């Protein structure tokens, strides 16, 4: 299955920093789901996810949860 999730460009660096440590963790936690962020310098907010349906759904939820934590860290 393939799906996309919208992640504001200003938060992309949080996912790809430290050689993609956070993306590697998401892939490990959700059955090896593939997460592809747009190239650096792109204004695209679409992040592509591919893998088994339940893995993609879980990874998408986790990414949105992380973005919510970044947007509102004190709530």
For residue range 30-67, list pLDDT tens digits in order: 999 999 999 988 899 999 999 999 999 999 999 999 99
* pLDDT at residue 29 in the model: 96
* pLDDT at residue 41 in the model: 87
Instruction: Give the domain CATH number at 24.
Output: 3.30.1370.10
**pLDDT confidence of 75, banded at 50, 70, 90?**
low
Angle, vertex CA 48, rays to CA 46 and CA 51, nearest 5: 160
Query: What residue numbers bound the domain in which 13 lies?
Result: 2-71
What is the domain count for the chain?
1
Whether 49 contacts 7, CB under 8 Å: no
| pLDDT exceeds cutoff 80 at 9 | yes
Question: Model pTM?
Answer: 0.89
Token reading at 19: 């050689």
| pLDDT exceeds cutoff 80 at 19 | yes
Whether 57 contacts 33, CB under 8 Å: no
Whether 67 contacts 27, CB under 8 Å: no
């Amino acid at each position: 299955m393939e799906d996309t999730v919208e992640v504001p460009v200003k938060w992309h660096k949080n996912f790809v920093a430290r050689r993609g440590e956070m993306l590697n963790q998401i892939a490990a936690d959700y059955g090896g789901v593939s997460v592809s962020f747009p190239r650096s310098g792109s204004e695209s907010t679409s992040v592509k996810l591919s893998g088994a349906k339940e893995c993609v759904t879980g990874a998408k939820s986790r990414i949105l949860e992380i973005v919510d934590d970044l947007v509102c860290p004190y709530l």
